[in-house]
Chains A and B, each alone.
Chain A
Amino acid sequence: MATVAVEVVYRGIFQKTLARNIVRSIVFAARKEGKIGTAFGRYGDSPERNGIPAKQFAIVADDAEELEENLARYEASEVDVTINVDDTMCKGIESWAWYGLQPINELTKPGGTLIVTSRQEADDLVQDMHQKDSPYDLSIIRSTVSFSGLWVYKDDHTDVRILGNLCRVCPQLVSLDSMLEAIREQFDNETKVASARRAYDLANVRPVEPGEGNPETPFKFELPGWKEMEEGLVIKAIDEGTGFRGGEEGYQPVRNSVFKKFSTRSMRPIVNFETCIKCTLCWLQCPDTCFDVTPDGLYDANMESCCGCGVCEAVCPVPDCVTMINEQHFDDNSSQYEAWQADADGYKQWMTNLIDVQKQESRTHGFHHVGGYAEEIAESAQPGGDN
């Protein structure tokens, strides 16, 4: 056997512990079979920021020499399995020390597997993912996307479900028995072992053909070398803003063109322009300077720069005027204000539908109060609970 590499793509901080549990368990399981392995985070992602996509890797090899060969790299050039623990990242990821958008399947080998935790249908996810010229398999673990934080971990068994599934789709990595043994040793919890076994039994794959998926070319930037930089390494400031869409009225800031941040978003705000009372709070309290001010004094959240923190929804005094909606329901970053201007009734219908759907979904961004996670995982933290 040669080297087997696995990457976990996750939301910074929110899923850091989840990713660590996955890559560590892989290495512990490999050691049970006399193999050697290592687990590590990508250097450029540290220090992590909430929500900004990051990566951790597990590399397993037969001997130390083979392993070292693979460790001399900043990031593996290809992996046998990509694990994506938040389905909204299927649209591509812009890491904070990376420039441009990286397709979620960029490193997935020809014939490799992409594992995603999601409640979406396979066909919908494939539409989001960028095209590749080689085939690979998509394996979906049916579960609610797991978010926690830096200090308190929401132990909803997502980690072991992924590990169980992984053993099935990538049998050359480690056997299920070794994995279950490693899980038992680490977590000392038989329910988690049972969850992993069940995920192994339920695992299925959907082949993705070459050329299937999103045809868009992801945006990229050229990084200047030091010889091209100005004297004293002076960086040009961002230009002053203009009126809305370059006009006389309203205001629209010029934005950083080399880091957009929208792939950080797993939910986005939608605005009801008709019930807005122009109180300014969403605009004023936005840490990301997202809102363009329209000539009529409304606030249009710019989707190229919104990172989906949800502060605008939290500060808005009008019910359902700003609502955070799961990012999976959107295909582009177009302006909501322009859509509303073009067809107010159509916009209203679209918005009302999305709000109704959102009210039936549970998607949270982390810690709300002491004891909250225990309530949330009451159902999911058991073998059949979340499938």
Chain B
Amino acid sequence: MTTVQELPQIRGVKNIPLVEGFTSGHRTCQGCESALVMRLMIKAAGPRTIVLGSTGCMYVANTTYYSTPWVVPWMHTQLGSSGSAATGTAAGLASMMRKGKMKEEPINVIAFCGDGGGVDMGLSAISAALQHDEYNLLILCYDNESYANTDIQVSGASPWGANSTFSPPGKEHRIMNKRWKKNMAPMLATGHPDCRYVATACGSYGLDFNNKIRRALTIGGPTFIHSIDPCPKGWDYDPKFSHELGMLAIETGLWVQYEIIDGELILNGPSRAIARGIRKRKPIEDYLLRQGRFAHLTPEDIKYFQERVDESWEEWWLPGVIPLKKNEEED
């Protein structure tokens, strides 16, 4: 295993590096939280980083016809191949350095994918990447809960009931997306016992986000971060609420913030306070009623949504994280 860079944890928001690796002039929506995630990611990783991007908004909207907002080297890869591109690049760098064709130095390799590229199409390649523990790499899934680039089609990460191009509510059938959101991070953490770091994150918590990127890049081996990114286009809200909706997702207990370091679960921020009973979860309607994609939900639908969230906190073995329940008779 090659060595990793010195990227100490950042103490306090005022110590976040000023240097930008992802600059202005990208063609994303106003208030695009995923663009912010790109910016925070490369801010934490620093200039000696290679970024690989699978198809999605962060490819199409950023690097159209001979222009780019990236200061660091960036390369496009196919929709389902963020995992393979990351492994290949890390292996290529290691091999070039071993043969003396490149100066020996730790270079961060980050591959990003959207929820379409990661949670749906690229799942097997990500799984393979997380098994190759001889390479240092990070796979960052920026999850805006739909195929937002191509005008909002349902993905495996879209929430129950959400309006989308593939699930328009009708007069007869109101709820067209009947699937519950895939539980991506725990699936990868439990499925890959030698993967040292899996985390969930949200761009609304900038410092926490930076530090998670740094932990992932310095712990060694392949790592994975799943970020929830409010999307003004697909979620249908005024772009100025991007930050607030990210916080609401966490404060309602729908999205849970945690790190799994060497198999140990550490909840962060509001999620930790909720788990310890210090803080009450906000009602889910505070989150749902703010978004046009849920405007068709009835009070019964919202009640069902709330019950599912309650269940995840009250009945799951690892509350909010892993959807397994204890069989009381087995105890």
Contacts and interface: CB of A to CB of B under 8 A. Distances in A.
Nearest to A50: B29
Nearest to B163: A151
B69 to A, nearest CB: 5
B149 A47 contact: yes
B61 A256 contact: no
A235 B63 contact: yes
B206 A366 contact: no
A219 to B, nearest CB: 13
Given A150-B236, A310-B31, A366-B232, A239 B151 contact: no
Contact of B35 (A96, A280, A287, A369): A287
Contacts of B23: 238, 241, 253-256, 289
Interface residues of B, number: 64
Most buried by B among A237, A286, A305: A237
Nearest to B210: A284
Given A256-B25, A287-B36, A311-B239, A251 B163 contact: no
Interface in A239-277: 239-241, 250-251, 253-261, 264
Contacts of B295: 151-152, 367, 370
Given A254-B23, A260-B25, A367 B71 contact: no
A13 B31 CA distance: 13
A1 interface: no
Nearest to B27: A96
A251 B240 CA distance: 25
A97 interface: yes
Interface in B226-276: 232-234, 236-244
Contacts, number: 210
Given A235-B66, A366-B237, A370-B294, 5 more contacts: A12-B29, A49-B30, A235-B67, A288-B24, A308-B30
A266 B151 CA distance: 22
Interface stretch (B85-93, B124-132, B285-293, B306-314): B285-293
B66 A229 contact: yes
A52 interface: yes
A293 interface: yes
Interface stretch (B14-22, B95-103, B108-116): B14-22
A27 B95 CA distance: 62
Given A151-B292, A237-B74, A49 B29 contact: yes
A13 B239 CA distance: 12
Contacts of B2: none
B71 A286 contact: no
B20 A289 contact: yes
B71 A149 contact: no
B31 A241 contact: no
B25 A49 contact: no
A224 interface: yes
Interface of A is mostly: loop
Nearest to A370: B289
Interface of B is mostly: loop
Interface of A: 12-13, 46-52, 96-97, 99, 149-152, 223-224, 229, 235-241, 250-251, 253-261, 264, 279-281, 284-290, 293, 302, 304-305, 307-311, 313-315, 324, 364-370
B238 A368 contact: yes
A309 B239 contact: yes
Interface in B193-233: 203-204, 206, 232-233
The 8 closest A-B pairs by CB, nearest first: A256-B25, A310-B240, A305-B24, A50-B29, A309-B31, A309-B30, A251-B18, A149-B236
27 contacts: A13-B233, A47-B151, A48-B233, A151-B236, A152-B295, A223-B65, A235-B66, A237-B72, A237-B74, A240-B19, A240-B47, A251-B19, A253-B71, A255-B24, A256-B24, A284-B16, A284-B40, A287-B39, A288-B35, A289-B20, A289-B23, A305-B24, A315-B243, A365-B30, A366-B238, A367-B295, A370-B294
Contact of B237 (A280, A287, A368): A368
Nearest to A280: B13
